[in-house]
Amino acid sequence: MLKSYAITDIGRKRKLNQDFIYLSEEPIGNLPNVFIVADGMGGHNAGDFASRYAVETIVEEIQTSFEKNPVTILSRAIEKANTLTRQKAYEDIALAGMGTTIVIATFIAGHLEVANVGDSRLYIVNDSIRQVTVDHSLVEEMIRMGGIDRENARNHPDKNIITRAIGARDTVEADFFDMELNAGDQILLCSDGLTNMIEDDTILHILNNGGSLKERAEELVRTANDNGGKDNISVIIIEPLSDEVKND
């Protein structure tokens, strides 16, 4: 039986929470479950609007889709969210330039299907921690080209510049991942307000340190805030195979 818990926090420095989270352990349209983290950007309340509006559009599109293939369902939903977010920005000058990251997960017959745009992340955590998504960011491109190592990238002044976002351009390209799951896997979706404040090995320790899903999620947020809380922090933890015994 799948179990999950979600939490979002404004952090220590921001005056507004521009993150938006959504979860449904029950079917939405032809998907058996849906989990989403979005991190909005834009002046005033534009980022707040963008993340919420994009997620609501995606959920509505999933709900009404006649498609069976999860990648097709998610791809079309993301494209529709991009189109409508752009349209809203054109209609209202206060929303001009807004956009949002998105990371989506759904679990189908022991498989994890993931879609992402931007730098919100999805991890698989068991005895080790593995980042599944690849950040669509300037610094990540620099790492891939060998211009900077990952350690120095954490404190790079351009680390928050993303290269893809819903609402940023007329078209949007999402990445998709299909992963087979193992007993004992925990799935973490999060905004960069978590990962910019906490190293991966600390995330691994917290998630494997016992306690309920709620306690683990709250500990992640508390640690991010203790480390500075410079951004909004959003976390969804999922145990997709929680009834299965972990293999030795």
Which among 157, 163, 220 is positioned nearest to 41, based on CA atoms?
163
Q: For residue 171, give the H/E element and its range.
A: none
Which among 114, 193, 190, 121 is positioned nearest to 160, based on CA atoms?
193
pLDDT (average), residues 198-214:
96
pLDDT bracket for residue 161 (50, 70, 90): confident
pLDDT (average), residues 72-80:
98
pLDDT of residue 159: 67
Over its C-alpha atoms, the chain yields an Rg (Å, rounded) of 17
pLDDT (average), residues 196-209:
96
pLDDT bracket for residue 248 (50, 70, 90): very low
Task: List the single range of 79-83, 100-104, 181-185, 242-246 with lowest mean pLDDT.
Answer: 242-246
CA 219 to chain centre: 18
Looking at per-residue confidence, does 96 or 145 come out higher?
96
pLDDT of residue 147: 66
Whether 232 shows a pLDDT value over 50: the answer reads: yes
pLDDT (average), residues 161-166:
91
Give per-residue pLDDT as tens, 96-140: 999 999 999 999 989 999 999 999 999 999 999 999 999 987 777
Q: Show the DSSP H helices in the chain as ranges.
A: 46-64, 70-91, 138-144, 150-153, 192-195, 200-207, 213-226
pLDDT of residue 165: 96
Give per-residue pLDDT as tens, 42-65: 877 799 999 999 999 999 999 999
Average pLDDT score, the chain? 92
SS3 for 173-220 is CCEEEEEECCCCCEEEEECHHHHCCCCHHHHHHHHCCCCCHHHHHHHH
Residue with tokens 């999860």: 70
Handedness of CA 82, 86, 87, 89 (dihedral sign): positive
What global pTM score does this model have?
0.93
